[in-house]
């Protein structure tokens, strides 16, 4: 088990809260694990307990977990008598607003083992020694000089992209990610970058920007907004044909008012009206000689056949692209679409495509296979869900998010924004060599303000 989702992912296991179904309500911890006999049976089979990133486990939570296993095994022994190993650096981030792990009475029964041979910094022992001084807050002149040399004085914008910015708050990380993403290049074959906004529901009702729930950030790691690049393919019945397309916008007038439609210039053409095939040579045709010879029949056949098309196993679902229509510079909805559009543009209102997503870096576009994921959870007893690409813009991350990560280069600030012990230490401990940069730093007396 692990205290954070990143640490849990790295060891291929679950978080404490997920595995033991723990929640914090009304100032105390509670678990749902005892309500399910199968869950209790599975926990009884555990022979050894290991908890990663122990510094971030609240002391009361640690005691609570011990009591869960004692109850399952029907005894009063710590952790039900199961051998337990906890791993972590207590100089790193503490629990959020609660008790330190060593304030738990359960902690007094543990025997400490100290690892003294560095692993992450094994090729840069000088940096390891600097970290040990920072860890305890006792800095030599040599360490201060090294830190001073790492203050950034360059205005080269590329230096802001080839690093991970470690900050104190989610809002600061969001602001940096938004800023840097806005300056990224995008592929000349696409018309614009894609900002993917999550689809959120509570009690099976869709949420809008005006009524988003603050509880979502505690229930899922899927972001509300992420920046991507869009590349489109279209399906045939036997395979997927990839083409470079851009959305196009056409402008025209309806009853003297400006109108526009923005859409991919592709028409689903399993079925066409007789008027559309004038002057075309086709390899094979099927038709009916009856009263159905109208455009509506072609639309219905296209919708039916598109619904049976295969889609790429690397994507979560086919993409139905609905046009963006305006009249008199006001957006139209499905309920007030104008019938005049079909006479003014060949761009369809709805077309079926496939979506392949890439994400941008400063020097190129990195293509990855991603699917939108949907997570389900409860908020105040109501079902909630979020559907989004499982990608997090990560030019900037909080110190809490980088626990247990190794990063090639980091940039951070040591200033008044640090609000927890260990944040500055954690910000630079995750690089294997002395590859970090300070944007701002405050040297004062024997300590660096912000290192605690």
Q: What is the pLDDT of residues 374-414, one digit of tens each?
A: 878 777 778 888 887 777 778 888 887 887 788 888 888 77
Highest-pLDDT range among 199-213, 278-292, 363-377: 199-213
Kindly state whether residue 115 falls inside one of the protein's structural domains: no
Residue 64 is predicted with a pLDDT of: 95
What are the structure tokens assigned to 333, written together? 């909805």
Examine the domain organization and report whether 285 and 320 are in the same domain.
yes
Note the pLDDT of residue 86: 95
Cβ pair 162, 409 in contact under 8 A: yes
Residue 254 DSSP SS3: strand
For residues 354 and 236, membership in a common domain is answered with yes
Tell me: do 323 and 417 sit in the same domain. no
363 in a structural domain: no
| Distance set, CA 38 to CA 12, 33, 254 (Å) | 22, 9, 64
Q: Is residue 51 part of a domain?
A: yes
Q: What is the mean predicted confidence (pLDDT) over 176-202?
A: 69
Residue 159 confidence (pLDDT): 72
One domain for residues 138 and 92: no
Q: Are residues 251 and 327 in the same domain?
A: yes
pTM value? 0.59
Do 318 and 429 share a domain, yes or no? no
Q: How many helices (H) and strands (E) does the chain have?
A: 11, 24
Same domain (yes/no): 307, 413: no
Total number of residues shown for the chain: 452
Domain that includes residue 394, residue range: 127-228+372-448
Give the residue from 298, 330, 358 where a domain finishes. 358
The tens digit of pLDDT for each residue in 229-268 reads 444 444 444 554 555 455 667 676 767 777 776 765 666 6
**Same domain membership, residue 162 and residue 83:** no
**Is residue 367 in a domain?**
no
239 & 341 share domain: yes
Buried b (16+ CB within 10 A) or exposed e, 257-283: eebbbebbebebeebbeeeeeeeeeee
Among 63, 83, 109, give the residue marking a domain's end.
Answer: 109
Asked whether residue 294 falls in the same domain as residue 307, the answer is: yes
Question: What's the pLDDT at 232?
Answer: 46
Phi/psi for 248 (5° steps) reads -115, 150
Q: How far is CA 123 from the centre of its chain?
A: 32
420 domain-assigned: yes
CA distance 146 to 130: 8
- Rounded distance between C-alpha atoms, residue 167 and residue 186, angstroms: 27
Decide if 118 is inside a domain: no
Q: Is 133 helix (H, G, I), strand (E, B) or coil?
A: helix
Give the number of domains in the chain.
3
Q: Give the pLDDT of residue 354.
A: 44
142 and 204 share one domain: yes
Has residue 162 been placed in a domain?
Answer: yes
User: Model confidence over 316-330: pLDDT tens digits?
Assistant: 444 556 777 777 777
The answer to whether residue 258 is domain-embedded is: yes
Tally the C-alpha atoms within 13 A of residue 100's C-alpha that lie toward its C-beta: 12
Are 91 and 136 within one domain?
no
Domain boundary among 304, 329, 358: 358
């Amino acid at each position: 088990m692990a205290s954070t989702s990143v640490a849990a992912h790295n060891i291929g296991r679950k978080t404490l809260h997920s595995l033991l179904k723990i929640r914090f309500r009304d100032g105390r911890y509670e678990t749902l694990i005892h309500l399910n006999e199968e869950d209790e049976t599975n926990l009884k089979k555990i022979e050894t307990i290991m908890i990663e990133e122990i510094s971030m486990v609240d002391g009361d939570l640690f005691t609570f977990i011990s009591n869960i296993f004692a109850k399952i095994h029907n005894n009063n022994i710590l952790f039900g008598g199961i051998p337990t190993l906890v791993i972590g650096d207590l100089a790193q981030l503490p629990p959020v607003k609660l008790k330190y792990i060593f304030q738990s009475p359960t902690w007094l029964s543990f025997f400490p083992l100290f690892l003294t041979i560095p692993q992450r910094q094994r090729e840069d022992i000088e940096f390891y020694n600097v970290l040990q001084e920072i860890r305890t807050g006792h800095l030599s002149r040599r360490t201060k000089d090294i830190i001073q040399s790492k203050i950034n004085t360059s205005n080269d914008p590329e230096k802001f992209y080839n690093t991970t910015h470690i900050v104190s708050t989610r809002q600061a990380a969001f602001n940096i990610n938004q800023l840097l993403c806005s300056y990224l290049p995008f592929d000349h074959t696409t018309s614009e970058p894609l900002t993917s906004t999550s689809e959120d529901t509570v009690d099976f009702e869709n949420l809008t920007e005006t009524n988003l729930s603050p509880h979502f950030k505690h229930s899922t790691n899927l972001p509300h907004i992420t920046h991507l690049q869009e590349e489109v393919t279209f399906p045939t019945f036997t395979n997927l044909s990839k083409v470079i397309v851009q959305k196009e916008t056409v402008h025209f007038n309806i009853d003297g008012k400006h109108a526009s439609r923005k859409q991919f210039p592709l028409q689903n053409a399993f079925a066409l009206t007789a008027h559309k095939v004038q002057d075309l040579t086709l390899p094979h045709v099927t038709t009916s000689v009856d009263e159905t010879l109208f455009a509506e029949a072609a639309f219905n056949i296209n919708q039916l056949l598109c619904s049976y098309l295969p889609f790429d196993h690397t994507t979560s679902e086919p993409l139905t692209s609905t046009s963006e229509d305006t009249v008199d510079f006001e957006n139209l909805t499905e309920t007030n679409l104008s019938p005049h559009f079909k006479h003014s543009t060949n761009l369809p209102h709805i077309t079926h495509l496939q979506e392949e997503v890439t994400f941008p870096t400063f020097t190129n576009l990195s293509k990855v296979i991603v699917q939108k994921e949907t997570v389900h959870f409860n908020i105040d007893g109501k079902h909630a869900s979020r559907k989004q690409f499982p990608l997090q813009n990560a030019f900037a991350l909080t110190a809490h998010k980088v626990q247990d990560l190794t990063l090639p280069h980091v940039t951070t600030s040591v200033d008044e924004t640090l609000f927890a012990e260990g944040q500055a230490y954690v910000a630079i401990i995750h690089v294997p060599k002395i590859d970090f940069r300070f944007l701002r730093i405050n040297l004062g007396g024997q300590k660096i303000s912000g290192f605690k």
